[in-house]
Structure 1
Amino acid sequence: MSKLPLGCAIASLIAFAAPAAMAQPAGPGPRDVPARSLPVPSAPSPQVQRLIAAPLRQGWNTPPTTPEGWRALAEAGAAATRAGLPGLRERLKVDVEAAEMGGVKVFRVTPREIRLENRNRLLIHVHGGCYVLNPGEAGLPEAIFMAGFGGYRVISVDYRMPPEAYFPAALDDAMAVWKAALQTTDARNMAIFGSSAGGALTLEMVLRAKAEGLPLPAAIAPGTPMSDVTGVGDSFQTNGLVDNVLVAVDGFCDAATRFYANGHDLRDPLLSPIYGDLCGFPPTILTTGTRDLLLSNTVRMHRALRQAGVEASLQVFEGQSHAHYYRDDSAPESREAFGEIAGFFDRHLGK
Structure 2
Amino acid sequence: MISFGARLFKLLLRIYTYPYRKKHMSLSRSVRVKADRYVPPKGAAFFVRAYGGVRTEIFVPDNACRDRLIVMFHGGGHTRGMSNMYRKAAATYATATGCEVRAIDYTPGADLVYPSVHDECLRAYDAMADEAAGKKIVCIGDSFGVGLMLYTCLKRRDVAKPLPSALVSVSAYVDLAASGESYRKNCYSDPMYSLPRGMKFRDNEHFIRRRTPYAAGTDEKDPYLSPAYADFSGMPRMLVICGDCETSESDSDMLHSAARRAGTDVTLRKYRGMFHDFMYIAPRLKESKRAISEIAGFILDSGSGGAGRR
| Common fold by TM > 0.5 | yes
Select 2:267's aligned residue among 295, 307, 313.
313
- Kindly indicate whether the alpha-carbon contact (under 8 Å) linking 1:246 and 1:253 is maintained by their aligned counterparts in 2: no
How far 1:129 sits from its partner (Å)? 1.1
Distance 2:299 2:282 in 1: 22
Amino acid at match of 2:140: F
Amino acid at match of 2:286: P
Unaligned runs of 5+ in 2: 196-204
Matched, 1:95 2:53: no
Report Cα offsets for 1:69-125 as digits up to 9, x if no partner. 987x3xx5331xx44854xx43x75432222111001100222353xxx33211110
How many residues are matched?
A: 293
What is the aligned-residue identity percentage? 23
Amino acid at match of 2:124: V
Select 2:32's aligned residue among 49, 59, 77.
77
- Flag the 1:232–1:253 CA change in 2: closer, same or farther, 3 A: closer
Matched, 1:298 2:255: no
How far 1:63 sits from its partner (Å)? 6.0
Distance 2:22 2:97 in 1: 36
Distance 2:286 2:230 in 1: 35
- Flag the 1:253–1:151 CA change in 2: closer, same or farther, 3 A: farther
How far 1:241 sits from its partner (Å)? 2.5
- Kindly indicate whether the alpha-carbon contact (under 8 Å) linking 2:13 and 2:191 is maintained by their aligned counterparts in 1: yes
Structure 1 stretches of at least 4 aligned residues deviating more than 6 Å after TM superposition: none
Which range moves more in the overlay, 308-317 or 326-335? 326-335
How far 1:262 sits from its partner (Å)? 2.5
Amino acid at match of 1:174: C
Distance 2:191 2:25 in 1: 19
Select 1:225's aligned residue among 161, 172, 190.
172
How far 1:64 sits from its partner (Å)? 6.6
Unaligned runs of 5+ in 1: 1-42
Distance 2:233 2:112 in 1: 30
How far 1:279 sits from its partner (Å)? 0.7
Amino acid at match of 1:311: D
Matched, 1:155 2:102: yes
Which range moves more in the overlay, 157-166 or 102-111? 157-166
Distance 1:276 1:307 in 2: 11
Normalising to structure 2: TM-score of the pair?
0.84
Matched, 1:263 2:225: no
Select 2:73's aligned residue among 110, 126, 130.
126
Which range moves more in the overlay, 119-128 or 104-113? 104-113
Report Cα offsets for 1:116-161 as digits up to 9, x if no partner. xx33211110101122124465643432332233332111011122
How far 1:189 sits from its partner (Å)? 0.4
Matched, 1:108 2:66: no
- Provide the residue aligned with 1:45 in structure 2: 3
- Flag the 1:133–1:286 CA change in 2: closer, same or farther, 3 A: same
Tell me, what secondary structure is at the counterpart of 1:277? Answer: coil
How far 1:225 sits from its partner (Å)? 0.9
Distance 2:279 2:84 in 1: 19
Distance 1:113 1:261 in 2: 42
Amino acid at match of 2:49: A
Distance 1:237 1:250 in 2: 11
